[in-house]
Amino acid sequence: MRKRIQIFDTTLRDGSQGEKVSFSVEDKLRIAVRLDSFGIDYIEGGWPGSNPKDLLFFERIRDSELQCAKVVAFGSTMRSNSLPEQDGNLQALLQAATSTVSIFGKSWLLHVQKALRVPPEENLRLIRESLAYMKGHGKEVIYDAEHFFDGYKHDPDYAVETLLAAREGGADVLVLCDTNGGTLPTELAQIICDVKTDLALPIGIHAHNDSEVAVANSLAAVESGCAHVQGTINGLGERCGNANLCSIIANLQTKRSYQCVPDSKLPELTSVSHFVSEVANLSHAHNAAFVGKSAFAHKGGIHVSAVMKDATTYEHIPPETVGNERRVLVSDLSGRSNIFYKADELNINLTQHPDKAPAIVTELKNRESRGYQYEAAEGSVKLLIQRMLDEWEDYFRLEGFRVTVEKNATGETRSEASIRVNVNGNVEHTAAEGSGPVHALDQALRKALVKFYPEVENIQLSDYKVRVLNEKDGTGAKVRVLIDSSSDGESWGTVGVSENIIEASWQALLDGVSYFLLQREQEMSEAKTIPESAASAVAS
């Protein structure tokens, strides 16, 4: 039987501290739901005592019906010379109303003396009483021993004392943190072996990547007895990043006898990785291990010849194991399995149309070559597949639109859009103003459709991202627009690509509204069949 490893994801907290990473509340909610679906054990949502956005996330995540993950609120031990019930940070943790909290404290005397500026004994009290207070409120408490390895190398006795104080306070897990990322795997493994027998509690690892060994350190920690691993998707994080959970999970589950996520979920690893990159509006690293586009790519000569005979000659695992695909760069031969998987995920029965799959694969790849990216645009990919299966027709047809932006002498700007759409032979011509050209176009489209589809008023444009695809072309470059929309707790992404940012935005807006109307139509159709099925059951 394989040993179970708890996976603690801190993408939404530690990962958001990385350069160029800024998650909106909607971003965090979408990522949390995706991580839960993937089988992650713990999702650290943020630090409710540090900013209003994180507190709002904890309020809204309560409405999400997560299947397996525990949402975790993060915070520090209380301030010196105070009591837990008077500490604002601890009170914010309680306000987050999560069943689990993660609290960090100081392990290194350098920090105790120069950062906290308190006596060593006072730091131990802060740790002990902060954790005991949280346990008294029924919380599962994960203790992060910040700078533990540096602290241990400086004064091993005191570093261990901080862990014992956390144990006395009621910690459920003691997490050893390589916060500066400067410890190498051999010394890290030795330190864990030296201290684990004295702790009598589950221990975990939290590694940073400043020496490019965060993944190696995490693997060494597990082999040394850690049963709890912290990290981020794609290694996002401050400075050089955190330990990359994509690589950790893949290595532990495919190469060693450990269970991190359900086996049935492991093939989703690549899509989860790409999803987080898209939502974060970051380019996904092609050379990322296991999940990168180039991870199983082969180009010409001896390599291609060998792989075509036996893939194990140049592949350490089958790419499908982690949801990736083999690519022969001179002649791409893969793609069908991914399309069938995605279609099933979107409730499209593509197995009834096997002859259509090659054309869908070709169309998706052609679009990707033009800049489209579908990892976080599930709305657009569902519409594309259903169009090619001839299972869906447009709810309306664009006759034309015009967008104007004016700027007056005082510096004020004004955006207006007019649009003509044809709905079942009825042409509707409307206009609307907005805070910007895309907002104006969105408002004009809804105004034109609301008479025919009143429910479009319920759509909210949650987020709008633009990425330049070919920077060397300057202001004439092609751009990709990703729009997140939501309604009644459901959210979806759509994408558009063009040299004209308004046209790219229109494509994403159009797909966003069309996807919403399609989902409502399918829900109504399913609702009608339920009474009929129930009636048949009663009659029988």
Is 0.85 topped by the overall pTM? no
Is 435 part of a structural domain of the chain? no
In a domain, 77, yes or no: yes
Question: Rounded distance, CA 257 to CA 4, Å?
Answer: 9
Q: Does 265 reside within a domain? A: yes
Helices and strands (H and E) in the chain: how many: 17, 18
Check residue 391 and give its pLDDT. 79
Coil, strand or helix: which one is 502?
Answer: helix
As a whole number of angstroms, the distance between CA 484 and CA 185 comes to 41
Q: In this structure, is residue 493 part of a structural domain?
A: no
275 in any annotated domain = yes
CA-to-CA distance for 486 and 129, rounded, in angstroms?
A: 42
Q: What is the pLDDT of residues 459-511, one digit of tens each?
A: 998 889 998 887 666 667 899 999 999 998 788 999 999 999 999 999 999 99
Instruction: Please work out, in degrees rounded to the nearest 5, the angle formed at the alpha carbon of residue 490 by the alpha carbons of 342 and 398.
Output: 80
Give me the pLDDT at residue 56, please. Answer: 95
CB 293 within 8 A of CB 286: yes
In whole angstroms, what is the distance from residue 242 CA to residue 19 CA? 12
221 Ramachandran zone, left/alpha/beta (phi>0; psi -120 to 50): alpha
Cβ atoms of 352 and 391 closer than 8 Å: no
Q: Report pLDDT for 228.
A: 98
Domain count, the chain: 1
pLDDT for residue 225: 97
Residue 348 CA, chain-centre distance (Å), reads 24
The one-letter code for the residue type at 326 is R
Whole-number pLDDT of residue 537: 45
Q: How far is it, in rounded angstroms, from Cα 126 to Cα 70?
A: 26
Q: pLDDT by residue for the chain (540 residues), tens digit each?
A: 789 999 999 999 999 999 999 999 999 999 999 999 999 999 999 999 788 899 999 999 999 989 999 999 999 999 998 899 999 999 999 999 999 999 999 999 999 999 889 999 999 999 999 999 999 999 999 999 999 999 999 999 999 999 999 999 999 999 999 999 999 999 999 999 999 988 999 999 999 999 999 999 999 999 999 999 999 999 999 999 999 999 999 999 999 999 999 999 999 999 999 999 999 999 899 899 999 988 998 766 677 677 778 888 899 999 999 999 987 653 233 356 557 756 777 888 888 888 888 888 888 888 888 888 876 788 898 898 888 888 778 899 999 999 999 988 888 899 999 999 999 999 999 999 998 999 999 999 999 999 999 999 999 988 899 988 876 666 678 999 999 999 987 889 999 999 999 999 999 999 999 999 998 888 887 776 655 555 454 444
Asked whether residue 61 is domain-assigned, the answer is yes
Neighbours of 255 (CB within 10 A): 11
CATH number of the domain residue 88 falls in? 3.20.20.70
Residue linked to tokens 């206009």: 431
The whole-angstrom separation of Cα 204 and Cα 178 is 11
Q: What is the pLDDT of residue 332?
A: 34
The whole domain housing 246 covers 3-279
Is residue 442 a part of any domain in this protein? no
How confident is the model over 40-97, as pLDDT tens digits? Answer: 999 999 999 788 899 999 999 999 989 999 999 999 999 998 899 999 999 999 999 9
DSSP state letter for 260: S
pLDDT of residue 540: 42
Answer whether residue 34 is part of any domain. yes
Residues in Cβ contact with 261 at an 8 Å cutoff, skipping those fewer than 6 apart: 7, 38, 39, 40, 249, 253
Query: Is there a contact between 373 and 488 (Cβ–Cβ < 8 Å)?
Result: no
The pLDDT of residue 326 is 86
**Which residues, at least 6 apart from 21, have a Cβ–Cβ distance to it below 8 Å?**
15, 236, 280, 282
Q: Which distant-in-sequence residues (6+ apart) come within 8 Å of 17 by Cβ? A: 237, 238
The pLDDT value recorded for residue 356 is: 86
Looking at residue 195, its pLDDT comes to 97
Report phi then psi at 258, rounded to 5.
-125, 150
